[in-house]
């Protein structure tokens, strides 16, 4: 919630339109305040459920696993016609107890149900031999360990999502909002249940193509996400998303009416006076005439930042600066340091969300180097694209459909192949070595941001949607991926 400009903009605008708004989010290490009012809307921050509840659930599941595992194992042995193992109930000495008879009955039932697997016994035997052989190699062991770690992490995410949903449902049990607005796929069940309990309407705000968003996710996790989205998106009274291709994709994939589009544009503003603490030029000692190339936002392995850093080796002019945070920050810092003395790439600390446009305004070029590794990236139109435009920066973007169309339609800059560092450098040089061309692109970006790509233009569609859902009553509620935001009651 704290790092999502879209949630803040929607809540702030709903208040201005006369709605009473409550935003419900999870507490974080950065903010432990349980309740506060910001820009006219209330924020409720929910604590993660107490650890003893998780421990209790873990112990119960662990006890169940200790009982179920040998039953499934011996039942499978029966199905395949293998000799019983040492944990089979009839292998123990003495008269069989009631529990042993019960376990034996379950094993026989499983054996009967899985009997067709006996037809696959030769294949399973060969597969087992291949697995045992492959696990002897170091590479296979590392791969197996990595995949297991991903499964454990994904199960942990699903567990946390369940507990967060439970905690937030408790937090809003007294709310009687007219509209519950869920941000991103993890809030879909929460939005549905909360709206049903309060007798309100449910609205789903899909910020991206969520299923398969991360290339590292396993097929298991993507299947769960696909099932959740397919099940609950059909129960929404309205769906909105951030651009036309994603709206088409969601409509086609789930056979729902085409979602409304509310783009991720910032509010129309002129860059304010920049806090000297956030000045890149002052921090790096750059001359005013030195072209400054900026990437601003979250770091992630699939965002093309590695190739962008490598491209700085081939730049003729300009300084590349990465400003943000993320999971692979240490790796990126090592890559920048490896460029050595005289390098043209640097990394600086992020700035507060409210200062993103003003802080970007001292740069000359804004970069979006996303790679087409997922459908989410392929159709991306991130906040930073429009923030660069509002700050009056020329654009250098990957040759992805949405990004390329915006840049070419309005003559805002250059397009490059994100997998080719030399091509990235060539396109950046085409701007930095041609000051007249750079100036035209910057002027076009500032103009089109103020005429078309600003929040005041986009939000009217959202306000009309709220009014249709509430019957023109000023009552609205929303859920964010790390919390729930809800407006309720007439202002």
Asked whether residue 64 is assigned to any structural domain, the reply reads yes
CB 76 within 8 A of CB 88: no
Q: Residue 386 and residue 296: Cα distance in Å, rounded?
A: 12
Q: How many domains does the chain have?
A: 3
Strand pairing class (365-368; 394-398): parallel
Residue ending a domain, among 97, 121, 153, is: 153
Asked whether residue 170 is assigned to any structural domain, the reply reads no
Asked whether residue 459 is assigned to any structural domain, the reply reads no
283 & 425 share domain: yes
281 & 367 share domain: yes
Please list the residues that pair with 322 across neighbouring strands: 295, 347
12 & 62 share domain: no
Q: 177 vs 412, which has greater pLDDT?
A: 412
- pLDDT for the residue 483: 43
What is the pLDDT averaged over residues 172-181?
86
Q: Residue 92 and residue 265: Cα distance in Å, rounded?
A: 70
Asked whether residue 271 is assigned to any structural domain, the reply reads no
Ranges 21-30, 94-103, 298-307, 407-416: which has the least confidence? 94-103
- pLDDT for the residue 448: 97
435 & 393 share domain: yes
pLDDT, tens only, 11-22: 999 998 889 898
32 & 59 share domain: no
- pLDDT for the residue 125: 56
What confidence category does residue 484 fall into, taking pLDDT thresholds of 50, 70 and 90?
very low
Q: 378 vs 48, which has greater pLDDT?
A: 378
Q: Residue 344 and residue 346: Cα distance in Å, rounded?
A: 7
Helix (H) or strand (E) holding 203: strand 201-206
What is the pLDDT averaged over residues 76-80?
59
Instruction: Examine the pLDDT at 30 and tell me if it is beyond 80.
Output: no
What confidence category does residue 488 fall into, taking pLDDT thresholds of 50, 70 and 90?
very low
CB 260 within 8 A of CB 447: no
Q: Residue 95 and residue 299: Cα distance in Å, rounded?
A: 64
216 & 183 share domain: yes
Asked whether residue 254 is assigned to any structural domain, the reply reads yes
- pLDDT for the residue 82: 56
What confidence category does residue 477 fall into, taking pLDDT thresholds of 50, 70 and 90?
very low
Percent share of the chain, pLDDT over 90: 50
What is the pLDDT averaged over residues 360-385?
96
Asked whether residue 461 is assigned to any structural domain, the reply reads no
Average confidence score pLDDT of the chain: 83
Give the CA count within 13 Å in the CB-facing half-sphere of 207: 21
427 & 290 share domain: yes
148 & 287 share domain: no
Instruction: Report the 10 Å Cβ neighbour count for 20.
Output: 20
Tell the residue number behind the tokens 């007439």, with chain if given: 490
Model's pTM, two decimal places?
0.77
Percent share of the chain, pLDDT over 70: 74
- pLDDT for the residue 476: 45
Instruction: Examine the pLDDT at 230 and tell me if it is beyond 80.
Output: yes
Q: Which domain holds residue 97?
A: 51-153
295 & 434 share domain: yes
- pLDDT for the residue 183: 92
57 & 144 share domain: yes
Give the CATH number of the domain where residue 31 resides. Answer: 3.40.50
Instruction: Examine the pLDDT at 119 and tell me if it is beyond 60.
Output: no
- pLDDT for the residue 335: 96
180 & 258 share domain: yes
Q: Residue 228 and residue 230: Cα distance in Å, rounded?
A: 6
What is the pLDDT averaged over residues 197-202?
92
Q: What is the DSSP letter of 304?
A: S
CB 321 within 8 A of CB 285: no
What is the pLDDT averaged over residues 81-110?
60
Asked whether residue 167 is assigned to any structural domain, the reply reads no
375 & 411 share domain: yes
């Amino acid at each position: 919630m704290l790092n999502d400009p879209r949630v803040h903009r929607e809540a702030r605008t709903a208040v201005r339109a006369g709605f009473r708004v409550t935003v419900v989010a999870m507490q974080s290490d950065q903010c432990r305040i349980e309740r506060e009012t910001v820009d006219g809307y209330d924020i409720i921050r929910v604590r993660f459920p107490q650890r003893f509840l998780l421990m209790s659930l873990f112990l119960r599941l662990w006890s169940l696993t200790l009982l179920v595992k040998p039953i499934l194992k011996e039942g499978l042995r029966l199905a395949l016609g293998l000799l019983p193992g040492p944990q089979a109930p009839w292998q123990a000495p003495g008269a069989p107890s009631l529990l042993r008879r019960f376990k034996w009955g379950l094993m026989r039932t499983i054996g009967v149900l899985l009997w067709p697997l006996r037809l696959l016994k030769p294949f399973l035997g060969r597969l087992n031999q291949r697995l045992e052989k492959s696990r002897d190699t170091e590479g296979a062991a590392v791969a197996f360990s990595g995949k297991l770690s991903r499964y454990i992490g994904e199960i942990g995410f699903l567990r946390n999502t369940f507990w967060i949903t439970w905690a937030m449902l408790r937090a809003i049990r007294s709310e009687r909002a007219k509209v519950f607005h869920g941000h991103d796929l993890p809030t879909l069940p929460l939005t549905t249940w909360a709206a049903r309990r309060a007798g309100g309407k449910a609205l789903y705000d899909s910020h991206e193509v969520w299923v398969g968003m991360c290339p590292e996710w396993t097929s298991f996790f993507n299947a769960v996400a696909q099932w959740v989205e397919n099940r609950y998106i059909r129960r929404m009274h309205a769906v909105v998303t951030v651009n036309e291709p994603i709206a088409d994709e969601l409509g086609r994939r789930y056979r729902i009416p085409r979602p409304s589009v509310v783009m991720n544009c910032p509010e129309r503003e002129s860059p304010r006076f920049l806090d000297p603490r956030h000045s890149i030029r002052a921090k790096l000692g750059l001359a005013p005439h030195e072209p400054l190339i900026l990437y601003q936002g979250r770091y992630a392995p699939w965002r093309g930042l590695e190739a962008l850093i490598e491209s700085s080796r081939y730049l003729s002019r300009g300084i590349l600066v990465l400003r943000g945070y993320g999971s692979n920050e240490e790796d990126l810092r090592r890559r920048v340091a490896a460029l050595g003395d005289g390098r043209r790439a640097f990394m600086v600390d992020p700035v507060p969300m409210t200062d993103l446009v003003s802080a970007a305004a001292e740069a000359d070029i804004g970069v979006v180097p996303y790679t087409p590794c997922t459908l989410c990236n392929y159709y991306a139109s991130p906040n930073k694209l429009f923030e660069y435009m509002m700050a009056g920066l020329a654009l250098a973007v990957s040759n992805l459909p949405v990004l390329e169309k915006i840049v070419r339609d309005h003559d805002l800059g250059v397009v490059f192949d994100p997998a080719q560092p030399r091509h990235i450098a060539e396109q950046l040089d085409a701007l930095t070595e041609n000051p007249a061309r750079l100036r035209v692109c910057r002027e076009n970006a500032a103009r089109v941001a103020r005429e078309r790509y600003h929040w005041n233009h986009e939000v009217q569609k959202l306000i009309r949607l709220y009014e249709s859902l509430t019957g023109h009553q000023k009552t609205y509620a929303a859920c964010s991926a790390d919390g729930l935001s809800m407006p309720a009651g007439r202002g």
